[in-house]
Amino acid sequence: MNERTPDAGHSPVSPETSVETSKARSEYKKLRSRHITMITLGGIIGASLFVGSGNVVRAVGPAAVVSYLIGGLLVFLAMRMLGEMAAARPAIGSFMEYARVGLGEWAGYFVGWLYWYFWVGVIAFEAVVGGSILGGWFPAVPQWLFSVVLLLFFTASNLVSARSFGEVEYWLASVKVCAILVFVAVGTLFALGLWPNSAFSIPNIWTHGGFTPNGWWPVISGVAIVIFSYFGTEIAVMAAAESENPAKGIRQAVSTVIWRILLFYVGGVLLIVTIVPWSELPDPEEEAPFARIFGLFGLPGAGLVMSAVVLTAACSVLNSGLYSAARMFSALGTQGLAPRIVAKQSRSGVPTFAVLASTLGGYVAVIVNFVAPDSGIFDFIMNSAGLVALFVYAFIAATQMRMRQKMTPKERAALKLKMWLHPWLGILTVGGVVGIVVVMLLADDDGRTQVWTSLISVAVLAVFWPLVRRSLQRRNAQALRDGADHSLSAVHAQGDRERGNQQ
């Protein structure tokens, strides 16, 4: 799988040219700045915004804006801490690698495997969503076939190179960003009564039962729902490690996350509750809130356009999820926390076996969902990965605090990107994660189901950890022996040279 070295005797170029050519090929494999920019902008926009926001608004009322603000604050703090570590040490595998270095091998093992498992489930889920949308357009074709075709297409694009992934994601994210920008621009005019056939509708925020029609508890419990909408923000930091300028890409991803959250999510939800009274929103399974409001704008083909945008969002998440899962799995293999084979890379620098392994779970889940939709297996996979976002944020906070503690004053002063008010905001982040888990346990049956099934996933990993730890110990012992043998050989070689000089 590794790139072969040409026969020096038949090479028509000079060593200097060979170096430049090799460097150019290496750069060709990497993501460009525009890829990172669009992944950063569009990575946070998924079907959970276009469709899932309706469920939150219907449950919470206009105060859903506060739920999105609180969840966004937690994500922003976690991203800032991740950015501090990534700017100082860009790495494939990102927070898994930092957790391993900062907290120990066990932390890297748990957070890496849980993250990979989460995205395998998401890959399957988004393939199902995409297949159902295409099936609605072409009812004569089975939905499962569309899902499989989507999986095959994005597997192929990810296998070509990191840049191939970036190019596909660039255009998918562009559609999402354009859709939300049009929504915000036209929606603002509509809410102010400045759009044709519109009226000043800002009072909708407080005139239909008040700002918190169901009280403040649903606002707090709503945070447990919306926090998962933001998951995927960290992909931009992971992708930046494979870009032409990692430090710049990481700073860009971290520095812009707050206004992306405010504009896309908080701004979008605020316009929804302003334009349409919250109590009049339809069930998202019947009509998504964005589709309803685009219809009010009087734009031609609003329903079809929104279906296409949701399909684009699903494909984008599938594509970026496959990229994230493969890179994390490969990083686990590199560190001996997963089978070594998944760390092997193709000539273009793609972890081929990690990509393929990450899609297998998707194919199985898609097939199970269509062959035995009532088996509950697909639902278990999705629920059992439900807390991964919270686990990741807690690990990021704990790792950043630990790594900052290990630094010398000189290393702290050299940090290009710093977390503010260290360690208090890190402690606040961990406390916020614990609070959300408690709320999920108290809120409803769905929340409790996600907590307990997610803990089952953690328990399974805990069972296998002793085996992985022993394997790591054997690997480290072998590395020490190899190092000692190498040092001894070097000493003997030096002695031989000295004796030769004396003679």
Lowest mean pLDDT among 104-118, 154-168, 244-258: 244-258
7 pLDDT above the threshold of 60: no
- The span from the CA of 105 to the CA of 110, in Å, is 9
- The span from the CA of 54 to the CA of 292, in Å, is 10
Q: Name all contacts of 475-479 with Cβ < 8 Å and 24+ positions apart.
A: 475/336
**Residue 193: which region, alpha, beta or left (left: phi > 0; alpha: psi -120 to 50)?**
left
Residue 259: the pLDDT is 87
Dihedral of the alpha carbons of 442, 447, 452, 456, in degrees to the nearest 10: -160
- The span from the CA of 395 to the CA of 98, in Å, is 9
Q: Which residues pair with 243 in a beta bridge?
A: 31
What 3-state DSSP class applies to 243? strand
> Is the Cβ–Cβ distance between 331 and 96 less than 8 Å?
yes
- The span from the CA of 351 to the CA of 266, in Å, is 37
Calculate the average pLDDT of the chain. Answer: 85
Tokens of 92: 């494939």
330: nearest Cα among 130, 128, 93: 93
3-state secondary structure 313-333: HHHHHHHHHHHHHHHHHHHHH
Say which CATH topology domain 25-493 has.
Amino acid/polyamine transporter I (1.20.1740)
* Backbone φ and ψ of 200, nearest 5°: -60, 115
**What H or E segment, with its residue span, contains residue 413?**
helix 409-413
Residue 22: the pLDDT is 39
Residue with the larger pLDDT of the pair 437 and 9 = 437
- The span from the CA of 166 to the CA of 170, in Å, is 6
501 pLDDT above the threshold of 50: yes
Task: Give 245-301 pLDDT, tens digit per residue.
Answer: 887 888 888 888 888 888 889 999 999 999 999 999 988 888 889 988 988 998 778
Q: Looking at residue 101, what DSSP letter applies?
A: H
Q: Based on C-alpha coordinates, what's the Rg of the chain?
A: 25
- The span from the CA of 430 to the CA of 434, in Å, is 6
Tokens of 61: 């009322």
Task: Give 392-434 pLDDT, tens digit per residue.
Answer: 999 999 999 999 999 999 989 888 889 999 999 999 999 999 9
Q: Which residues pair with 192 in a beta bridge?
A: 200
Residue 278: the pLDDT is 94
pLDDT more than 90, % of the chain: 45
Domain extents in the chain = 25-493
Q: Which amino acid is at 163?
A: R
Residue 486: the pLDDT is 58
CA 142 to chain centre: 29
> Is the Cβ–Cβ distance between 231 and 45 less than 8 Å?
no
pLDDT tier at 351, thresholds 50, 70, 90? very high
62 preceded by a cis bond (ω within 30 of 0): no
Tell me the average pLDDT across 64-91: 90
Task: Give 12-51 pLDDT, tens digit per residue.
Answer: 433 333 333 334 345 446 888 888 888 877 777 887 888 8
93 pLDDT above the threshold of 80: no
Residue 372: the pLDDT is 77
Residue 23: the pLDDT is 43
482 pLDDT above the threshold of 80: no
Task: Give 201-210 pLDDT, tens digit per residue.
Answer: 999 999 999 9
- The span from the CA of 268 to the CA of 53, in Å, is 9
391 pLDDT above the threshold of 70: yes
pLDDT more than 70, % of the chain: 89
Residue 230: the pLDDT is 87
- The span from the CA of 73 to the CA of 227, in Å, is 10
**What H or E segment, with its residue span, contains residue 426?**
helix 424-443
169: nearest Cα among 263, 31, 373, 370: 31
Tokens of 10: 């038949």
pTM of structure: 0.86
Tokens of 200: 């000043």
Residue 251: the pLDDT is 82
Q: Which residues pair with 200 in a beta bridge?
A: 192
Residue 302: the pLDDT is 79
Tokens 């996600």 sit at which residue? 450
